[in-house]
Structure 1
Amino acid sequence: MTASSSYADLYAGFRWNLPRRFNIAAACADVWAAREPNRICLIEDRGADPARTLTYGELSRRSARLAAGFAARGVGRGDRVAIVLPQSFEAAIAHLAVYRLGAIAVPLALRFGPEALGFRLRASGARMVVTESAGIATLAAVDEALPDLAEVVAVGAETPGVLDFAELETQAGPDAGTADTTPDDPAMIIFTSGTTGPPKGALHGHRVLLGHLPGMRFHHDGFPQTGDRLWTPSDWAWAGGLLNALLPSLLLGVPVVFTKVRFEAAEAFALIARQKIRNAFLPATALRMMKGAASPEALAGLDLRTIGSAGETLPRDTFLWARETLGLTVNEFYGQTECNMVLGSSAAYGVSRAGAIGKPVPGHRVAILDSDGREVTRGTTGTIAVKAPDPVMFLGYWQDPAATAAKFSGDWLTTGDQGVMDDKGYVTFFGRDDDVITSAGYRIGPGEIEDCLMTHPGVALAAVVGKPDPMRTEIVKAYVVPADGFAPDAALAASIQKFVRERLSAHEYPREGAFVNEMPLTTSGKIVRRVFREKAAREAASDAPPTTALGRAS
């Protein structure tokens, strides 16, 4: 895949050629360890202190020994191992150890509370948990039984009854070898973010990594190139952090930088300069925050080559800011936990348009369907769908065949996301089925309104939902987190209302709004609009006025 080809030629000429046998651990560690054992694969940024590095030789050797330790504790093919760790050497090593055994990794966010963690451990039937001290504390607070959980392994935690990660790795028994897996053999369960209901476990095969390679090469403009080095603040427990960053980079020989410091916009600029980051995967929220922290000092020393963004709609003003200030076109891409990185942009191939996700990535067939599962004409809004079979497509929801069947319409995986494809093939995201607002006969997507709100200097975050209304069916309601330095008062409310009214059509204007202190976000950084839909519905049912009112228009 070279940028000298046109997008049309690239897409038309692409053919999948999956190997008969494939194991993620062997591809991400052993191949490079045999070829260049001293090649650096992971870099831990530690601020003012010297960075720590891990080579492919070390990654291969340590993951093999940890796999032997897991095997000695009874972990075998098909067993689920929950990995509840921050970005770290240990997280990568644990993932590869699980894949080696033909077991199934269950990546989970360290920030999950007891209820969220317990739900996912029970749903996956995890036999082992690999975590650290914070995870041990959360695990201890889980108040429902975990009947399948047999072992807990912790990094650096001295807790009775808990296995020590380092001891398990260094005192392992005989090499357990690497399972002879096919691309279709199960490798991981990644839970959906739960924006519209209880999270579901999407089971993926080893092929999912191969399926992501065309997208990585496409939206990172010929990735990898000499000197490429990737960083993302996205949690490796999320499909974005794991499959849009860590594992493809390891397979392609690109060093991955990580830090254990919580994301801060100003520090992000410093890290990019300090570690000579060439490629970044940044969710739109992170980019918006960096836009607000940009200064001549922050921008000095940057040598970025590509930026990819996904997980939420990229505001037009942020897209333009990056182009003007960073000298880069942000390449947006789209997918779901069940079927990721199927749409994308690539400035190198001339596929880039502010406000649009992009076009189908080579190797993936994407269409817009109506409610009967038929492809609609260009320019018509419908459900974004992906044609099966596809290497990035999940094997099914874990132990839930009914939900798996409901995800498909014939051979099409339906995303539940509303979108429109124009006559050039560009797809614009409109909103999830549940997010679309019906008001006075209009179907309104919240993304454009949120995009507009986010361009106001007094708005840090915004969520837009439909509130039931007897006259209009629904009215557009906005929930706003004020930016730092702005008080949630009448003056700010009036400023925001005037700003939005002048920029949107009358039917899109938020007729009601409220200030809130914080925005509920998923692990992947998406706004959980469901929380506000439920809140708005309760207000409508009780006819209660909104608290901390932003104002209401007649």
Structure 2
Amino acid sequence: MLNYQEAVQTFDLNTVANELLSGSLNELNACYECCDRYADTDKVALYWHAKDGRKEQFTFAELKKYSSQFANFLKSQGVQVGDRVSGLLPRTAELIITILAAWRIGAVYQPLFTAFGPKAIEHRLKLAGSKFVVTDLANREKLVGLEDCPPIVTVHAEQVVEQYPQDISFWDVLNQQSDACELVMRQSSDPFLLMFTSGTTGPAKPLQVPHKALVAFGRYMQDAIGLKEDDSFWNIADPGWAYGLYYGITGPLFLGHATLFYEGGFSVDNVCQIVQEYQINNLAGAPTAYRMMMAAEPEKMAPLRGKFRVVSSAGEPLNPEVIRWFEQALDAPIFDHYGQTETGMVVCNHHALSHPVHAGSAGFASPGYRIAVVNEQGQELPADTPGILAVDVNQSPMMWFSGYVESRKSPFIGQYYLTGDTAEIHEDGSMSFVGRSDDVITTSGYRVGPFDVESALLEHDAVVEAAVIGVPDPERTEVIKAFVILANHAQASSNLEEELGQFVKKRLSAHAYPRLVEFVSELPKTPSGKIQRFLLRNQEISKQQERLNQAV
């Protein structure tokens, strides 16, 4: 295992690019890098497992053929270099074929999450200016009535020809095309993906992902995921979002490694089935999924003990209780990773690099990045001082994000990209996440990160999930309120409210405990699984205003 400090000190972008790319950063094609260069082998690129139990596998050679055919169709319809092609598809082979086809001719792929409603889809299609949208029967209705909707290619469209006579049948047009399609070469700064931020505090903003990000994606797979050639890898994140698209499709294929698509929804039973059937030993996903595994009956999870060589977590901070459970129940090391749609993963506990791993820490800046904590003026703060987590662009050769396609406010100040997250960097260089800047709670003169309180609550055996916010208070500025989902065996009561408050108080401090506890059946989350604390805050403010109105 390579030493982390050695990897940082010896990092050279050109050397890394030469090791990972077939050519150079000055002339490359994402489809070739993620597919064609492996097509002369018999390597499997995709294992597909349907909800109804049907299974198929596709080699790189097959994906090269199908993507060439679909690319030829797109070309015949006038799709040119830089044009956007959108995909509103579940985890199917057609999704990967669409992505590779767009890349093959120098077009840009734009993902649409299948849980989106029409308004979210319309917003993205309009800003993207998409030339085509590819979908399936289950999602086709969401496109009805959209303003300026581009032409629609539908998988199995022959089954709805009467209802949607204008639709183009995916496989019909694909099979009519030649399987020879010339690659369009691009430069490192040219985009191959158009992503949108989640838009939790406003409309989703578009951003372009340039080809040079391929190198960063590949190194993350190698260093942090620790992907080995003989691993059986599964990223359970949805490819409609950055983590699933960057590291469930692009990253593994870029390294010539198979990826796995399971169409069924996430459940403990499904996880157990897929892990055992495909002998998954390298797993990646979000804490929400892992907490569901923790909440399952122990006998259900017992067959998975010892199955995982490594497990990776991203999307939200990984609570220490989850880490302990994976070690004790599954004998598996689970490491926390931090990143954003805008940056990819930049701070990680690296499975393939040796360095200290601290519970509650997201790890160290990945080789090729330098992180800092700054104030609102862009001045770096001392160690162990909460501030805005930033990427030092001047000293981060792996950084590929240069700004939003259209945005009123730049996320850059001087040489720093501001993530909008509050964090601390410790003396040894490791980073601990505190919360989104607007999530940090000020109570009785103290600043409290919701993550610490949530982690403490999760250690109580009655708690499955928790979200913590600050509620306005005239005496303390804010008081801490926890929204708690209980385990099946627990019953909500005023005694349990008090017990949970005291439980956290003993583990954290006299000021960092929830004075208010509300038991709920669910928490508001983004489609990618991140807790939307701002909705809980807005809900509390509305309640307070209503009480004031009644008092008047």
TM-score w.r.t. the length of structure 2 is 0.91
After TM superposition, the structure 1 stretch with the greater mean CA deviation from structure 2, 492-501 or 176-185, is: 492-501
The one of 7, 13, 37 equivalent to 1:16 is: 13
Counterpart residue number, 2:39: 33
What SS does the aligned partner of 1:430 have? strand
Counterpart residue number, 1:153: 153
Counterpart residue number, 1:518: 522
The one of 135, 145, 153 equivalent to 2:139 is: 135
**CA 1:15–1:58: 2 relative to 1, 3 Å:** same
1:424 aligns with 2:428: yes
Q: Are the counterparts in 1 of residues 384 and 424 from structure 2 also a CA contact under 8 Å?
A: yes
Deviation at 1:244, TM superposition (A): 2.2
What SS does the aligned partner of 1:378 have? coil
What SS does the aligned partner of 1:384 have? strand
CA distance in 2, matches of 1:253, 1:476: 48
CA distance in 2, matches of 1:477, 1:156: 50
Identical amino acids, percent of aligned pairs = 33
Unaligned runs of at least 5 residues, structure 1: 546-554
What SS does the aligned partner of 1:224 have? coil
Deviations along 1:158-196, one digit per CA (max 9) or x if unpaired, are: 232111111121123684422111111011111111233
Deviation at 1:418, TM superposition (A): 0.7
1:220 aligns with 2:217: no
Counterpart residue number, 2:243: 240
Counterpart residue number, 1:360: 365
Deviation at 1:216, TM superposition (A): 1.6
Q: Are the counterparts in 2 of residues 193 and 199 from structure 1 also a CA contact under 8 Å?
A: yes
Q: Are the counterparts in 2 of residues 246 and 256 from structure 1 also a CA contact under 8 Å?
A: yes
Deviation at 1:347, TM superposition (A): 4.6
Counterpart residue number, 2:287: 284
What SS does the aligned partner of 1:53 have? strand
The one of 317, 324, 339 equivalent to 1:335 is: 339
After TM superposition, the structure 1 stretch with the greater mean CA deviation from structure 2, 117-126 or 244-253, is: 117-126
CA RMSD of aligned residues (A): 2.2
Corresponding letter in the other structure for 1:13: T
The one of 257, 262, 267 equivalent to 1:259 is: 262
Counterpart residue number, 2:389: 384
Deviations along 1:218-240, one digit per CA (max 9) or x if unpaired, are: 1233x224x21211221001111
Counterpart residue number, 1:71: 75
Deviations along 1:279-314, one digit per CA (max 9) or x if unpaired, are: 111211111111222635533265322111110011
**CA 1:80–1:59: 2 relative to 1, 3 Å:** same
What SS does the aligned partner of 1:396 have? coil
In the alignment of these two chains, the number of paired residues is 532
CA distance in 2, matches of 1:464, 1:48: 39
CA distance in 2, matches of 1:241, 1:291: 22
**CA 1:240–1:377: 2 relative to 1, 3 Å:** same
**CA 1:294–1:411: 2 relative to 1, 3 Å:** farther
Deviation at 1:421, TM superposition (A): 0.8
The one of 318, 322, 328 equivalent to 2:322 is: 318
Q: Are the counterparts in 1 of residues 373 and 381 from structure 2 also a CA contact under 8 Å?
A: yes
Q: Are the counterparts in 2 of residues 467 and 540 from structure 1 also a CA contact under 8 Å?
A: no
Corresponding letter in the other structure for 2:388: T
Corresponding letter in the other structure for 1:155: V
**CA 1:279–1:85: 2 relative to 1, 3 Å:** same
Q: Are the counterparts in 1 of residues 386 and 422 from structure 2 also a CA contact under 8 Å?
A: yes
Deviations along 1:457-512, one digit per CA (max 9) or x if unpaired, are: 33332211111222222221222233335444445434433433333312111122
Deviation at 1:101, TM superposition (A): 1.8
CA distance in 1, matches of 2:171, 2:340: 35
Counterpart residue number, 1:436: 440
Deviation at 1:544, TM superposition (A): 6.3
Q: Are the counterparts in 1 of residues 217 and 250 from structure 2 also a CA contact under 8 Å?
A: no
Counterpart residue number, 1:126: 130
Within a 5 Å distance, the mapping from 1:465-480 to structure 2 comes to 465-480=469-484
**CA 1:260–1:49: 2 relative to 1, 3 Å:** closer
Deviations along 1:359-394, one digit per CA (max 9) or x if unpaired, are: 011111111112211221111111111122644432
CA distance in 1, matches of 2:424, 2:202: 24
Q: Are the counterparts in 1 of residues 349 and 363 from structure 2 also a CA contact under 8 Å?
A: yes
The one of 60, 63, 79 equivalent to 1:59 is: 63
CA distance in 2, matches of 1:168, 1:353: 53
Counterpart residue number, 1:83: 87
CA distance in 1, matches of 2:201, 2:150: 32
Counterpart residue number, 1:179: 184
What SS does the aligned partner of 1:300 have? helix
1:369 aligns with 2:374: yes
